Chains A and B, each alone.
Chain A
Amino acid sequence: MQILIDRYNPQSDSAPYTQTYHLNDAEVGEDTMLLELLQQLRIQDPTLGFRSSCQEGVCGSDGMNVNGNNCLSCITLVKPLGDKIHIRPLPSFPIIKDLIVDMQLFYDQYKNVEPFLKGDEHLSRDPEHEILQTPEEREKLDGSYECILCACCSSSCPSFWWNPDLFPGPAALLAANRFVIDSRDITTIDRLESLDKAEKAFRCRHIQNCTAACPKGLNPSRAIQGLKHAIVKNRS
């Protein structure tokens, strides 16, 4: 089996290059995940750079592009990827080293949508009671709150590629929508108004790359569509 990895060390390389590793097929089990394989390679070659932490698909550290698709290496089985696996860093982000990219713009966009609950002042200070929410209201948050900020979506979004500094991207918009639809948040109108701009919610063209890329099965594209409807409704 051939593993091709795009590598780049800013201290010694002028540009990224592809390095090929060979692995004995027998070393790869039916249940071997790509992260385990990378860890094996790192034992052979300690200079290989990639991030990881939880190893079970919940921390969002190890987004990477494998045979053209963005994924989390820790929950991606090796066998179905075929005999030749090409691993690249997440597209569109500046490369720091090997598979490690600089996600600062992605984090900034997240922060810009003010992704925190702004509840009623009085209720939020009351230590004796929770802010009530019906199961139906709570259910609306399913599919948004589970985001792990892995950036697989934003890194596959053409609108984000062109304007990562202006367009929030699918992950940030998903987060924005998560607070718009949270029954406890009282700033819905402000939130909608701040996103009502050509380069914000409306820069999304619903190409749906984001939804296809999300390793957690979330649907940012649909959330953004909902967001746009809410914005338009809010105008009138």
Chain B
Amino acid sequence: MTQEATLQEYEFDAVVIGAGGAGMRAALQLTEAGHKVAMISKVFPTRSHTVAAQGGINAALGNVTEDKWQWHMYDTIKGSDYLGDQDAIEFMCREANQIVRELEHFGVPFSRLENGKIYQRAFGGQSQNYGEKQAKRTCAAADRTGHAILHSLYQQNLRAGTEMFVEHFALDLIIDDDETVCGVLIQNLHDSALKAVWAKHVLLATGGAGQIFRTNSNASINTGDGLGMVQRAGIPLQDMEFWQFHPTGVAGKGMLISEATRGEGGILRNADGEAFMVRYAPKVKELASRDVVARAIAVEVEEGRGCGPQKDHVLLDLTHLPHDVIENRLPGIRDISRTFLGIDPIEAPIPIFPTCHYMMGGIPTNLNGQVVKPDIPYPENRSGQSVDTQIPVPGLYAIGECACVSVHGANRLGGNSLLDIIVFGRKAAQEIGKQLQNNPEIATRPFQHNLNALLQRYQRWLQTSPSESAHDSVFAIAADMQKIMESGCGVFRDHQHMQQTVEQLRQLEQRFAQVQIQDDSAVFNFERCSALELENLLAVAKATACSALAREESRGAHTRVDFSERDDENWLKHSLFYPQNESILFKPVNRQPTQHAPFEPQKRVY
């Protein structure tokens, strides 16, 4: 039997790819509105990486300190190093209060204040009155906020009866000859059955891609699949040079120690026991923006003030905090520290070092979650040019960490991602709902489409090579990629190293074109799944390295040793990477919020 004969087909109004916070919020909205929806996830929904989010979600509820969405907006724009789109940031901050209360109504067990309201803690980069005093804006369920939100959303989807394809892997977007996205090709991991899921609207919510770096805080499933899919569909990726290195990863391992530790009063110390942050951010010290703190730690280590026999980390000291703060507000952190380091933070400080954490860039979208691309036919010939007009890709939406709307610009504030995924999860679903109502007649299944080509592409993974004859492997290429990215595109960057990185990535692409897998099993073929993921990771890595090489300035998390200043005159713009010819186009940053006066770029001091 050929592949096609065995292909199962389904039809939906909308299909959501991803069951993290973003995907589940969107699916819930669509199901409740009575649409025929499917939610697809390569893991059981509550195993998605939103579950790992610790510290909390931002909203200017003002439960602890006086607060306004306008201040949240200011902080987010400043935190983004002015690269964030001000209309999108304004929208997100204005929605935040309702979004968090809605989550509470969904059952999220937020920690509480004496008056019964949601507990809020301090996080980095938060201020009252446009930079005056520290604000407490991060709504928390102890230090398990992501778990609390993800499980509540899964529970609500159970209640609503959302149809789910669990442990199904999405391979590629199905596109018709008008370049309308009309479905997705997926594979059941249980038996390798391929399925064509036709839909009027396809929503990508596939999360991050931290696995391009060796040391990271991400789940092994965070492989940028949605980004790979859109690149193969000819859609560019935006701002891929901006990766957040979280200041406090467990040294040598990478798992996260939440910013909540510093919000609750934790202090960073170098080998001399000095609380060094005062030298880098005199006013707010430990609670400066993440890019600032991560650089400070890297400099301390670089200049020989690192701790431990290798002098390769610094210490996060919580020992002075009241025990009940650690027990009640930071129990998950205490668990992680005890499990992975054998250290109880009540008794001893935690060795930490920056770890790759979050992708600020991603699939370009507008405020409605619609994927957009420049309104030009041949990007290859236009490398370096700025294109003002962006047009939606019909049928395609993206939300959450895989998307770039862009609310985080060059540096994300802690607590703003959980907000982003829920705000735009709901918004995109509302937009799809509106479209379904306005154009009920669009057919799901077109006459001309690329499905055969997609199936053809997949054929190569049906051939296996016996292990004796294998010279190379998917795992070896992945490990090399992680090393290459870490050495060339880490916290500090320069032209020479990045140029080398790009060349090494090209070699990896060639190795990938040759590599074969050994496992021919149809049941949970993990090696094949890894191969499909690696293809996506390589696309993300390449987009990152090329975009980073092109941007000759330092902004937010993108720190160039050879261009150490921010250059607003030439670089206050988003980059768009096309893999064809590795060309990069630019688009302007939005500075037209609708309710608040625009914020002009200022020097960032904390």
Contacts and interface: CB of A to CB of B under 8 A. Distances in A.
B219 interface: yes
Interface stretch (A134-142, A192-200, A221-229): A134-142
Interface size class of B (residues with CB under 8 A): 35 or more
B51 interface: yes
Contacts of B219: 53-55, 59
Contact of B101 (A129, A135, A141): A129
A236 B594 CA distance: 60
Interface centre among A10, A43, A59, A97 (most CB of B within 10 A): A59
Nearest to A216: B335
A54 B109 contact: no
B114 A60 contact: no
Nearest to A102: B190
A134 B116 contact: yes
Nearest to B100: A130
Interface in A186-231: none
Contacts of B341: 31
B473 interface: yes
Given A47-B518, A53-B43, A111-B158, A9 B117 contact: no
Contacts of A141: 109
B111 interface: yes
A133 B147 CA distance: 20
B363 interface: no
Interface in B513-566: 517-519, 521-524, 526-527
Contact of B47 (A49, A59, A129, A134): A59
Contacts of A165: none
B458 interface: no
Interface in B17-61: 43-44, 46-49, 51-52
B107 A117 contact: yes
A124 B152 CA distance: 14
A3 interface: no
A82 interface: no
Interface stretch (A19-27, A144-152, A153-161): A144-152
A13 to B, nearest CB: 11
A133 B112 contact: yes
B51 A127 contact: no
Contact of A9 (B47, B98, B113, B521): B521
Interface size class of A (residues with CB under 8 A): 35 or more
Contact of A115 (B155, B221, B332, B475): B155
A116 B109 contact: no
A149 B148 CA distance: 13
A43 B151 CA distance: 33
B21 to A, nearest CB: 14
Contacts of A59: 43, 46-49, 51-52, 219
Interface string B464-505: 000000000101000000000000000000000000000000
A108 to B, nearest CB: 11
Nearest to A99: B524
B4 interface: no
A127 B152 contact: no
Given A117-B106, A146-B144, A10 B523 contact: yes
Given A117-B152, A119-B105, A60 B47 contact: yes
Contact of A60 (B46, B152, B158, B220): B46
Interface string B441-476: 000000000000000000000000000000001010
Contact of B517 (A46, A103, A133): A46
Given A124-B105, A145-B148, A54 B52 contact: yes
Contacts of B109: 138, 141, 145, 182
B47 A127 contact: no
B437 interface: no
A43 B472 CA distance: 11
B104 interface: yes
A42 B530 CA distance: 12
A148 B101 contact: no
B66 interface: no
Nearest to B479: A43
A134 B524 contact: no
A129 B144 CA distance: 22
B415 to A, nearest CB: 17
Given A116-B107, A116-B156, A58 B340 contact: no
Interface of A: 9-11, 31, 33, 42-43, 46-49, 51-61, 75, 96-97, 100, 103, 107, 111, 114-117, 119, 123-135, 137-138, 141, 145-146, 148-149, 182, 184
18 contacts: A11-B522, A46-B473, A46-B517, A49-B524, A53-B47, A54-B49, A55-B220, A57-B339, A60-B47, A61-B47, A75-B339, A103-B44, A116-B158, A117-B105, A130-B101, A132-B115, A133-B116, A145-B109
Q: Which 9 A-B pairs have the closest CB atoms?
A: A117-B107, A132-B116, A116-B155, A46-B527, A59-B47, A127-B98, A116-B159, A138-B112, A124-B105
Given A117-B152, A145-B148, A148-B147, 13 more contacts: A9-B523, A47-B519, A75-B339, A75-B340, A116-B156, A117-B155, A119-B107, A130-B100, A130-B104, A132-B115, A134-B114, A137-B112, A145-B109
